[in-house]
Amino acid sequence: MPLCNALIRTSLCAVAVALGASCNVFDESKIPTEDATTTLSLGEDCLGSDIPTFESLNEFRDIDTSELRNDHSSLSCVGRADGNDGFFKVAMTAGKKWHFHVKVTQGTEADPAVYVLDSGCQDSVCQRGWGLNECVVGQDEHFSFFPPRDGTYLVAVDTITDGGEPMQILAVEPECGNGNKEHSETCDSTEGCDENCRQVLPAGEVEVEPNDEPRANANVLTFDGDTARARGQIGGKCDFDSFAVTVPADGTINATLTSGCGLDLSLQLVRPDGLTPLGDAVATSAGDCPTISRANLAADTYFVRLTTQREDEPMGVDYELEVQVTAP
């Protein structure tokens, strides 16, 4: 999730919350700075010749959509986007993650969205998993994209409301296993880190950030028998926690919040693609703790995702999660 939790209440997080920004935690000392360009001029037309090509860089670049047009307004992947949109190109490898973070400039009222189109630049391409608009005005957007095939893709920075804004963009293809914790990675080459740079969470421990995107960086739950437990904190509507759960063939998942009930929290099960919900979300009601269950699942890794409808909770609300996985 983008906001700070109890484990990462550092001065950096405090500043981020004070500014209304999100807070994915990474080691800033490992951000490359040599030969870095600080400004990126976005292309106006996604089929035009002026679109810059972006190389992976774990560093923010300044952008400004104020002088651009609104060419793309209705996309299934982000909904209605009436602001000015600008593009850059990225060469991608099938199945290899790219992470995009659009940062709102302090003092502006931007509500950013970020999405990906293929070389044909058709809005209809932008379906589930090809874009993100989860947060509200004044909050950052974090989006991980797993390209379905090799090729050059067009990445758009847009806003939901009219006009354009100065913002910042980070676009990185994190290299899991290189020992550098890059943006969107929870860990890299450290104890308790799996082959996808996701934190393996000991039973009963507090979540480790970032874990907002199921496939990209969910915490991997550790089971004691058939039960796993985790503790965490939700900070607002733009805040998510994701946990990975391995299920045997024809197995059953039961997920329950055992504390934090009555705080507008909800549970959802997500399929192995990290995108598709496995049924409807179950929310707290009249103080009851939400429970969600699915049986007869195919053997695979699924995700339990926690969200809240509260617009903002700077200090966060604590919860405890219990997940049971049983074989047939």
Q: Same structural domain for residues 33 and 123?
A: yes
Q: Is residue 21 part of a domain?
A: no
Q: Is residue 190 part of a domain?
A: no
Q: Same structural domain for residues 147 and 204?
A: no
- pLDDT the model gives residue 317: 79
Domain that holds residue 155: 27-172
Q: Same structural domain for residues 112 and 204?
A: no
Q: Same structural domain for residues 36 and 163?
A: yes
Q: Is residue 1 part of a domain?
A: no
Per-residue confidence at 7, pLDDT binned at 50, 70, 90? very low
Q: Is residue 192 part of a domain?
A: no
CATH number at residue 238: 2.60.120.380
Q: Is the pLDDT of residue 13 over 70?
A: no
Q: Is the pLDDT of residue 310 over 80?
A: no
More confident residue, 22 or 260: 260
Q: Same structural domain for residues 297 and 248?
A: yes
Q: Same structural domain for residues 155 and 215?
A: no
Least confident range from 9-13, 85-89, 90-94, 177-181: namely 9-13
Q: What is the pLDDT of residues 188-222, one digit of tens each?
A: 999 999 999 999 999 999 999 999 999 999 999 99
More confident residue, 129 or 15: 129
Per-residue confidence at 19, pLDDT binned at 50, 70, 90? very low
Q: Same structural domain for residues 57 and 162?
A: yes
Q: How far is CA 202 from CA 9, 205, 216, in A?
A: 20, 6, 19
Per-residue confidence at 23, pLDDT binned at 50, 70, 90? very low
**Domain stops at, among 153, 172, 191:** 172
Q: Same structural domain for residues 124 and 212?
A: no
Q: Same structural domain for residues 128 and 240?
A: no
Q: Is residue 318 part of a domain?
A: yes
Q: Is residue 185 part of a domain?
A: no
Q: Is residue 286 part of a domain?
A: yes
Q: Is residue 193 part of a domain?
A: no
- pLDDT the model gives residue 6: 34
Q: Same structural domain for residues 227 and 317?
A: yes
Pairing of strands 219-221, 200-201: parallel
Per the structure, how many domains does the chain have? 2
Cα-based torsion angle of the residue sequence 247, 184, 9, 191 in order, rounded to the nearest 10 degrees: 60
Q: Same structural domain for residues 147 and 208?
A: no
Predicted TM-score (pTM) above 0.75: yes
**Domain stops at, among 152, 172, 192:** 172
Q: Same structural domain for residues 129 and 228?
A: no
Per-residue confidence at 265, pLDDT binned at 50, 70, 90? confident
The mean predicted confidence, pLDDT, of the chain is 86
Q: What is the mean pLDDT of residues 137-156?
A: 95
